[in-house]
A and B are shown apart, each in its own frame.
Chain A
Amino acid sequence: MKYSLIHRTKYTYEGAVTVSHHLARLAPRTLPGQRCPWHELEIQPVPVGRGVHMDSYGNTTYYFEIEGKHEVLEVTARSLVEVFPTNHPVAILTPSWELVRDGCHLEKLTPCSEAGAFRFASPMVPLGDDFAAYAHPEFFPGRPILEAVLALTNRIFKDFKFDPRATDVTTPVSEVLKKRAGVCQDFAHLMLACLRSLGLPARYVSGYLETAPPPGKIRLTGADASHAWVSVFCGEGSGWIDTDPTNNLLPGERHITVAWGRDFSDVSPLRGVTLGAGGQRLSVAVDVIPVEEL
């Protein structure tokens, strides 16, 4: 599947900003199942300084500075992406979850113990008995890991209500667990907390999801949004397998991966520190357009 992606972020400041510094992670990754032949980042006002580097998770990270009074900052990321069909492993053939858990604990760096880096608490994902307890029914002894993960995905999908008003970006995961509501970011963090509290490595994935317009309607511009889901390490043979608790499915051709890390704080699409502004208003518009439509 080929897509044309446009991700527009607009900050409107109260009062003029004189200097600002930013980090952006907006370039889709190149993966075995995904290609990004073209990507560009347009920034208004034009930055005076800019740089690009790979962060420690391999995400392309842009740095830029803006100098001189401005009241609006607009960042537009445009990409062409091709996503290939995924062959998901057969769930019952994956190793037991305990085997995966214990493999991460090796005293030497192997693919397993390297993945083990993603099983500790991170800035936005704490560990705790309550998370382990929530996940526990799905992780009975000897259960194949992917089967358990799919069951947990299904449970979160059923137990939690999608409600953008229930949480904001600062709502702690423990509160999400109590409220049983939130958005994709909350469900991803919650699932990470559950898996890691059981000793399993899991990472946060940020990206996009193609949403099909209702039958007979045309696609509305800017109607899509950035999305977040989870990737779980399922042992050396199966590697990392993505799962989307918000939609209760294993991501395929309609999920586009931009970045991954321990949690949202490692991959936030656009972060900035401004000098001079009072408050700020943020508007984001995302378009994921299948190229056949163009």
Chain B
Amino acid sequence: MATPTHTLRPLTCWKSILRHTRHQKVVTRSLTTYHQNVPYSKFQLPPPALKKIKVYPAPPFPAANTKEPLKALCADQIALLDPTGVRTSLFSKTNPEAAKVGDILLVRLKGGDPFAGVCINIRRRGVDTGILLRNQLTRVGVEMWYKIYSPNVEGIEVVQRSAKRARRARLTYMRKPKHDVGSVQNLVLAYQRSRSGLRGSAQKEEGLKGGKKKSVRGKKH
């Protein structure tokens, strides 16, 4: 049986020869008593060449300095958008001269007609503070929200203060026909006239331009 196999595959003979050797090796290895474990800590390796890595100290953690980061951010933004603090004081709760709900306000816009109306809501939310103005244009009630710190808002002026302090925070009842003050264009026109009279001729031209437009509107009511 072995002969034909050997003729076909001549290297197979090595397997049968080496099988014995292999077996012998296993037997001798199991009999040995020389082997003992060397702990890794005792195991000596040549010391590796240490590369010096530069370690930088951690930057200071910002939360340690800032107790309320959102409040700080809001204050930063207000300082950026309203450097003089005029708007802040105009709508601050502590200022007795501040604009209140019920007052007639005029919002001058950059690149656009000014909008005037009764302030029926002041939404105080830091830098997002907005005011809701209501007016009637061509006998249609119009309400506009403006952000007081918006870069588009050039200025906010108090045209007329309300005679009595409003006993509500939001005068949404003014939307009802019974309480609606109607158009405030006449008051705004008078205010602009008086202001342009007080100021110099440089401002007069602007006031008259606005006034002429307003008078056209005023005739309709």
Binding partners A and B: no
> Which chain A residues have a beta carbon within 8 Å of chain B's beta carbons?
none
- B: which residues have CB within 8 A of A? none
